[in-house]
Amino acid sequence: MGIPVGVPRETFPGERRVAITPRAMDVLAKSGVEFLIEPSAGAAAGFPDSEYAERGARIAGSRAEVFASAEIVLQVRTPGANPQAGRADLALLRRGQTLIGFGEPLNSPGETMELAERWVTSFAMELIPRITRAQSMDALSSMATIAGYKAVLLAANALPRMFPMLMTAAGTVTPARVFVLGAGVAGLQAIATARRLGAVVSAYDVRPAVKEQVESLGARFISMELEPGEAEDKGGYAKALGEDFYRRQRDLLTEVVRQHDVVITTAAVPGARAPVLITREMVSSMPDGSAIVDLAAERGGNCEATRPGETVVEGGVTVMGPVNLPSEVPYHASQMYSRNVAALLRHLAKDGRVEVDLSDEITRESLVTHGGQVVHARVRQLLGPERQAVRS
């Protein structure tokens, strides 16, 4: 008998991704894994039950059967990242079960504590360390790639002008000017996509080290002097900086923003509110018909005018606050995410069970709850000592 792995249908409103695609099952074929799929789990992403069955998965009779039979449950959004609908799954989880998915433990420590109280071993995909060994498991980067691509398409659709320069019998059409704030994975993909569409692109990031990457994509890098090592943590993420820095940054950006037709913001710090980079004053300085796409909307937004999940027009500028953009491209988002999950599962599954080896950096950094405890140091710090004790 192999390890029974359950894949339930996602219940977060508007979520169309699935944790494992039929093709990703092949990656785990030699790991002794047997899949149990909730009916229609992959339908919204374009993967019918028949494709899972053809690759040897069993289609369950109900969601409850998936949780009751599986030793490992794979989700896109575990209860911490699905705080309302996901509460129903808490009652289905049982002692000793392993749960893998995006869990937002740094933003939802309460739900994380409930997993510990149920003695569930949980791994958070967003906590996978950014090290060479874990590149194939880096789901944050996978989803950021899709978000950056989709953000440019949203902006192009909203803009009352075309992106490329065109020379026509009616004269020359000047190219759109796109400014990308944040040159992480999402920002770099936004730069590349905007350039492919023919826009003139500029970009800014607090990390001077990304200048070469930005320029290699054909964009102009806008810089501000920083002390070496000030802007980046050991994991390669931009880190929160002081308010004095953000004031100086806003002075720089005010002049830059007003020169562009499109601004795409991507600046987010894990576990913290997104920094406000675009003030209402900056928005009002942009040309009428301009567009802002705020990819940090789920963390409060980089723009003062952003309303998460909404599109608003302020002073003639369209401000979009999309949430869960990867779900808008569910087929490929599911393909990429499921490869990340499969790579982690192959790393964890040894001799027919999940092996929790805390000497391994990948396991240690992504493990959130185990043995009836919240074990991740940053989450424990958020909970405080008075909330860390769990009844046996």
- Any catalytic annotation for residue 141? yes
Q: Which of 9, 118, 122, 138 is catalytic?
A: 138
- Any catalytic annotation for residue 138? yes
Q: Which of 31, 69, 136, 141 is catalytic?
A: 141
Q: Which residues pair with 238 in a beta bridge?
A: 232
- Any catalytic annotation for residue 237? yes
Q: Which of 130, 195, 196, 307 is catalytic?
A: 130
- Any catalytic annotation for residue 135? yes
Q: Which of 135, 216, 259, 284 is catalytic?
A: 135
Q: Which of 58, 136, 161, 237 is catalytic?
A: 237
* Residues marked as catalytic: 130, 135, 138, 141, 237
